Amino acid sequence: MASKAAQLEHLRSVPMFAGCSKRELQAILKAGDEITMTEGTLIVDQGQMGREAFVVLSGAVTVRRNGRKVVALGPGAVVGELSLLDHGPRTASVICDTDCTLFVLDQRHFQRVIEQNPQIALKLLGTLAGHIRELDRRSFG
């Protein structure tokens, strides 16, 4: 199990949380758990309802949409983050390529952190707006 300091640094490296202060990151860290999954484990199943997000602390995962590989990800990547914000179905499947250590954050605990630290929500909205702008630029020039 990674130390709290190491977990904090991992969260700091995640673009979704990059704008958060140390105190805010500590609140997020307290709301989640570190888990391990073995190679070949399905982390997220496309179409299923999701209630948690996963930060890859160590190992590698593959994201697949409609059975086709979209991207391979490693430490610092976050998957399933839309589930922290809504109750919609998963947009892709994610499978462990190797044994992985993950930080899992469920929606209920994350919402409690947001309620107690509303400034985190504003930072996340800014990050999401940046992602939307990037997707728009790539799609439409």
Note the pLDDT of residue 128.
82
Which structural domain range is residue 39 located in? 4-134
Sign (positive or negative) of CA dihedral 39, 86, 14, 109: negative
- Report the share of the chain in percent with pLDDT over 70: 99
- CATH code of residue 74: 2.60.120.10
pLDDT for residue 141 is more than 80: no
Give CA–CA dist 127/118, Å, rounded.
15
- The answer to the question of residue 128 being in a domain is yes
The domain tally of the chain equals: 1
User: What is d(CA 24, CA 98) in angstroms, rounded to the nearest whole number?
Assistant: 30
